[in-house]
Amino acid sequence: MLLRGIDRAAFAVAFTARLRAAGLPAGITETDDLVRALAASPPVSRGALYWTARVTLVRRHADLAVFDRVFATVFDDSPPLPLSRSATPPPRRDDDTNVAVPGTGDEKTAGGDGLPWATLPPAVAAEDSPAEDGLHLPELRPSELAALAQRPFEDLDAGQTAALGEALRDTLTHWPHRRGRRHRAHPAGRRVALRPTIARARRTGWEAVTVVRERPVPRPRRVVMLCDVSESMRAQAAAYLQLMRAFATVADAEVFAFATRLTRLTVPLRHTSPREAIEQAGAAVDDRFGGTRIAANLGALLDSHHGETVRGGVVIVASDGWDSDPPERMAAVMARLRRRAYRIIWLNPRAGAPGWTPGVGGMAAALPCCDRLLPAATFADLLQAVRCLPDVAGRR
């Protein structure tokens, strides 16, 4: 029997505290579950303890790696099992590596100043460095923004890019919808809603005088955006990140960046602070400015469990079409995407240039499957693309 004579609650609290410090969101419910599970199934082996803790504390697949790491650090260098108070030599009893007890001070407090609670960072800390912040730029007038939007991405600094990103978010008001499967009472509906009709009949002596009708509730169409962050797209990457953030925050879209590998950016880009979101997204993409494998990455998206999100959705691919995979592979994967997605829009930074033809192998192979090829060399192009989204995604 492991952990004999040990306070289960103290153990569970300390272990979840350590998991939380490592980034696994285990709360009171999970801790309570672990305590009750340890009572129901006293751990007879390390394996049993592992499964008990994992089943009760981990609630999503993405957290399994963190759990395994923390579990290993806590239990790997522990003395040979079974671990109990009598088996542990007295000098090691207060060794908090093996049996975690609360209040050891071993976990870092968020404030870092020794307080047992987390303190918020001072709100006025940015005062002393206004120049490098970028958010302290004077408020731009719409005309100035419009002029900025015409400039190529390379000529914009970080602050201007952020301001234009906000403008993109504000523009994203009209959203393509589809017919949902839920119904809501509406006078123009065609279906009789029986429940409210009978409830209404109560007023008229159970005679159904007023008939309540209902019609389908439109639901926003799912948007999936994939953005190329390879070397050839270096100039556009920052601006496209802003576009992806606009989609992720306003429209609940799934967004991915790819160069040689596919990285899901939906979670980092939804961060409330724009600067933090862009920084986190930049940190998440570790193959930035490398080669491009468009076809392989599109295939990876379709094969992964996110492949279902594409179904019936609008897919936006932002890339110049330079692909190190053969064009046949691109044609095959685009055909597969075509069968699953509702509309495919391709944003190409070079498409706006006069005399441009889709000469690149990958682009030429992908074009027959795209509903629309839009230029995306400036923010003005991106704003235009966002505005025409409902038209593109409307009925054919």
Partner 1 sequence: MNTPDEVIARLDAVDYLVDDGLAMAIFLALRLGKPLLLEGEPGVGKTAAAKALADALDTPFIRLQCYEGLTAGEALYEWNYQRQLLHIRLGHASDDSSLFTDDFLLERPILRAVRHDGPTPPVLLIDEIDRADDEFEALLFEFLGEASVTVPELGTFAATRPPVVVLTSNRSRDLHDALRRRCLYHWIEFPAPDRAASIVRRAVPAATAPLIRDATEFIGRVRGLELDKAPGLAETIDWVSALAALGVADLAAGDVLRTIGTIAKTPDDRILVAEAVTRESPQ
Smallest distance, Å, CB 175 to partner 1? 17
Smallest distance, Å, CB 79 to partner 1? 23
Indicate the angle between helix axes 294-303 and 327-340, nearest 10 degrees: 30
Smallest distance, Å, CB 260 to partner 1? 16
Smallest distance, Å, CB 370 to partner 1? 20
What separation in angstroms does the CA of 262 have from each of 85, 245, 284, 306?
49, 17, 11, 11
Query: Considering beta carbons, is residue 325 or 381 the nearer one to partner 1?
Result: 325
Query: Considering beta carbons, is residue 55 or 353 the nearer one to partner 1?
Result: 55
Query: Considering beta carbons, is residue 151 or 178 the nearer one to partner 1?
Result: 178
What separation in angstroms does the CA of 393 have from each of 82, 137, 171?
63, 36, 17
Query: Considering beta carbons, is residue 36 or 275 the nearer one to partner 1?
Result: 36
Query: Considering beta carbons, is residue 94 or 207 the nearer one to partner 1?
Result: 207
Angle at 305 between CA 349 and CA 264, to 5 degrees: 40
**Between the CA atoms of 267, 269, 270 and 274, what dihedral angle is there, to the nearest 10 degrees?**
150
Question: How far from chain centre, in Å, is Cα 269?
Answer: 6
Phi, psi for 262 (deg, rounded to 5): -100, 130
Smallest distance, Å, CB 296 to partner 1? 9
d(CA 42, CA 88): 19
Contact residues: partner 1, CB under 8 A: 25, 27, 29-30, 33, 36-37, 40-41, 47-48, 51-52, 54-56, 58-61, 64, 180-182, 194-195, 198, 201-202, 206-208, 299, 302-303, 305-306, 308-309, 332, 336
Smallest distance, Å, CB 59 to partner 1? 4
| Element housing 362 (H / E) | helix 361-366
What separation in angstroms does the CA of 183 have from each of 11, 243, 255, 381?
49, 33, 29, 37
Phi, psi for 86 (deg, rounded to 5): -75, -30
Query: Considering beta carbons, is residue 27 or 111 the nearer one to partner 1?
Result: 27
Amino acid at 388: C
Query: Considering beta carbons, is residue 70 or 149 the nearer one to partner 1?
Result: 70
DSSP lists the bridge partners of residue 4 as: 84
Query: Considering beta carbons, is residue 313 or 358 the nearer one to partner 1?
Result: 313
d(CA 86, CA 92): 11
d(CA 240, CA 230): 12
Per the structure block, which two tokens stand in for 185? 């009472």
Smallest distance, Å, CB 100 to partner 1? 21
Smallest distance, Å, CB 386 to partner 1? 24
d(CA 211, CA 192): 7
State the residue for tokens 């609008």.
314
Asked if 336 contacts 365 with a C-beta cutoff of 8 angstroms, the reply is no
Query: Considering beta carbons, is residue 103 or 180 the nearer one to partner 1?
Result: 180
Smallest distance, Å, CB 294 to partner 1? 15
Smallest distance, Å, CB 208 to partner 1? 7
Phi, psi for 60 (deg, rounded to 5): -145, 155
| Element housing 302 (H / E) | helix 294-303
* 159 contact partners, CB below 8 Å, separation of at least 6: 134, 135, 137
Query: Considering beta carbons, is residue 299 or 321 the nearer one to partner 1?
Result: 299
